[in-house]
Amino acid sequence: MPQPWWRSAVFYQVYVRSFADSDDDGIGDLPGITSRLDYIRDLGVDAIWLTPFYPSPQKDHGYDVSDYFGVNPEYGTLEDFDRLLARAHELRLKVLVDIVPNHTSSQHDWFQAAVSSADNPMRSRYHFADPRPDGSPPNNWTSSFGGPAWSPEPNGKQWYLHLFAPEQPDLNWFDPAVPAEFERILKFWLDRGADGFRIDVAAALFKRQDLADRPYITDRVTGARRFDSTFQIIEQPQLHDVYRRWRQIANGYEPARVLVGEIFEPRRHSKYIVPDQLHMAFALIQQPWDAALWRRSIDASRRALQGPGAEPTWTLANHDVKRPVTRLGGGSTGRARARAALLLLAGLPGQVFLYQGEELGLEEVDVPDERRQDPVFLHSGGKEKGRDGCRVPLPWRKGEPNAGFSTAGPWLPMPEGWGRYAVDVQAAVGGSTLAHFRRTLAERRRLARRLARRLQWLTAPADVLAYSRGPLTVACNFRNRPARLPAPGGLLLGSDPLVSVRHGVLTLPGNSAAWLL
């Protein structure tokens, strides 16, 4: 049977604000992306995911939406989106739009109407509640960005719920008007030609209606108090009906559109990745560089999806987490491990999501505090550095102002020497990280029809992971010193130039990986 296009696809996340700036105002935009689609195509991916480009006050850089039917003027126009989509489709690239259904901006017309008077009907689209008798928030729920999950409404007596920043009030999905509006939003973008959606905070739309306090547990040894992790604020059963309806909408287009949920915990995946709900959810690996931990993560994600045709969606990075090169040790060590990790994950059954800049081996940037813009930093009083470090604009050309991103100062500062990672530099070097990504994705696509869905772990030395998928064998050395193991085939790809196969023995330098065929 023919497989859906997304079954073994590679997706490339474009952080719109930091990808490419067409008008030299220091901010990436949709025409800039369109001008670089050939670069994305040549990388060897099948689809792109665009972070939110809707009108927004940019309190959380697009994840605070004030209008779901337009384009932020900083990023362009609806016509620019249409041109981007048309060019992507000419290049046989699919395009996923980021939908933000958990909350709106506090500047959205719905919320502005809701706080305009106590009896406005729009109030039912959000969560409002009376404070406790002592004037404190309605319950003890906390925001992911720090502090209480409640703020007093402006010029009113009640408080409103926000699991993120106060400028991002949570929607009340128990109000029938909310799911109806989002069906209209989905159809608007699908009718324009979008190939699907990445769904932000996909498990959180419905909150428990009793607004009960989250109970504490006292540690028997230390006496410390912490929240009971079994208490569920989110993941109410009504969510499944929403995704069943969204799947019906997606299936109504030819070819069927794709739904990807931002749900990172593998134990949750089996609830949503079923034939009548979502197609995919992320299996994000953030483990330290340890073979046992990586195998445990891979196995946990695979066990979570046992249904017909369901496979994990592997990823090491996105706009919310520290860049892999830095997480894995930084510098040349971190870059070697990130190159090896690409071979390890790209050989697995399932889909792969890459985040812009991974292919250049970019590291996390230590953005000066006075230039940080992430609400995580702002709302934690600087205790948490936030996510700006992985969002610094891409370097395109060495020797040009701001490494070719923009002649104007970019919205986040680019560090000194950023140009040494530029695309034009790496495109001219056969052993660059960019060249490694291009070769890996080309071979993955070439082999896709030959590889078995079943994965078999192989016996390997300590601190080495090895598995086979039909004719392909993948081995990854987590040691800092070389490892040797039997080679069941010839060398197809190596993450390090010193990877070799001689006389039936595979030699893996420290922190390297190989594909054998």
CATH of 109-161, one of 3.40.718.10, 3.10.105.10, 3.60.140.10, 3.90.400.10: 3.90.400.10
CA dihedral 302, 304, 306, 309 (to 10 degrees): -70
Is residue 94 over pLDDT 90?
A: yes
**Average model confidence (pLDDT) across the chain:** 95
Return d(Cα 394, Cα 434) in angstroms, integer. Answer: 13
Is-contact 496 485, C-beta < 8 A?
Answer: no
Answer yes or no: are the C-beta atoms of 56 and 165 closer than 8 Å: no
* Percentage of the residues of the chain whose pLDDT score is greater than 70: 99
Average pLDDT over residues 460-467: 97
| Angle, helices 177-191/239-251, rounded to nearest 10 degrees | 30
How far is it, in rounded angstroms, from Cα 165 to Cα 416? Answer: 32
Listed residue (300, 271, 259) closest to 283, CA to CA: 300
Both tokens of 148, joined, read: 């209480």
* CA dihedral sign, ordered 53, 54, 60, 64: negative
DSSP readout, 139-177? Answer: S--B-TTSSBSEEEPTTSSSEEE-SS-TTSPBB-TTSTH
Give the pLDDT score at 166. Answer: 96
Domain ranges, ordered by start, for the chain = 10-104+175-205+246-440, 109-161, 452-516
Burial 446-484 (b: 16+ CB within 10 A, else e): ebeeebeeebeeeebeebbbbbbbeebbbbbbbbeeebe
pLDDT in tens, 194-231: 999 999 999 999 999 999 998 888 877 777 888 877 67
- The SS3 call for residue 464 is strand
pLDDT tens by residue, 24-46: 999 999 999 999 999 999 999 99
Contact 404, 19 (CB under 8 A): no
Average pLDDT over residues 243-252: 97
| Mean pLDDT calculated for residue range 242-264 | 95
Predicted local confidence at residue 226, as pLDDT: 80
- The mean pLDDT of 286-294, rounded to a whole number, is 97
What's the whole-number mean pLDDT along residues 371-376? 94
- Mean pLDDT of all residues in 437-458: 94
**CATH of region 10-104+175-205+246-440, choose from 3.30.365.10, 3.20.20.80, 3.30.460.20, 3.40.50.1000:** 3.20.20.80
Q: How far is CA 267 from its chain centroid?
A: 18
Omega before 255 within 30 of 0, i.e. cis: yes
Position 233 confidence tier, pLDDT thresholds 50, 70, 90: confident
Neighbours of 287 (CB within 10 A): 16
Say which CATH topology domain 452-516 has. Answer: Immunoglobulin-like (2.60.40)
pLDDT digits (tens, 9 = 90+) for 148-172: 999 999 988 999 999 999 999 999 9
Q: State the catalytic residues.
A: 200, 262
pLDDT, one tens digit per residue, over 297-335 is: 999 999 998 766 689 999 999 999 999 999 999 999 999
CB 317 within 8 A of CB 354: yes
Alpha carbons within 13 A on the beta-carbon side of 163: 20
pLDDT at 482 over 80: yes
At 235 the pLDDT is 85
Do the beta carbons of residue 439 and residue 464 sit within 8 Å? no
Handedness of CA 161, 165, 169, 171 (dihedral sign): negative
The pairing of strands 128-129 and 159-161 is antiparallel
Question: How remote is the C-alpha of 408 from its chain's centroid?
Answer: 28
Structure tokens at 455: 């994965």
> Interior CA angle at 340 toward 492 and 323, to 5°?
140
pLDDT (average), residues 14-19? 98
* Separation of first and last alpha carbons in the chain: 25
Yes or no: say if 294 and 257 are a contact pair by the CB < 8 Å rule: no
Nearest to 345 by CA among 4, 11, 3: 11
| Reported pTM | 0.96
Looking at residue 307, its pLDDT comes to: 67
Query: What integer pLDDT is reported at residue 1 of this predicted model?
Result: 61
- 40, 300, 308, 453 from 270: Cα distances, Å: 32, 12, 11, 18
Q: Could you read off the pLDDT of 332-358 as tens digits, one per residue?
A: 999 999 999 999 999 999 999 999 999
In this predicted model, what pLDDT tens digit does every residue of 41-88 receive, in sequence order? Answer: 999 999 999 999 999 999 999 999 999 999 999 999 999 999 999 999
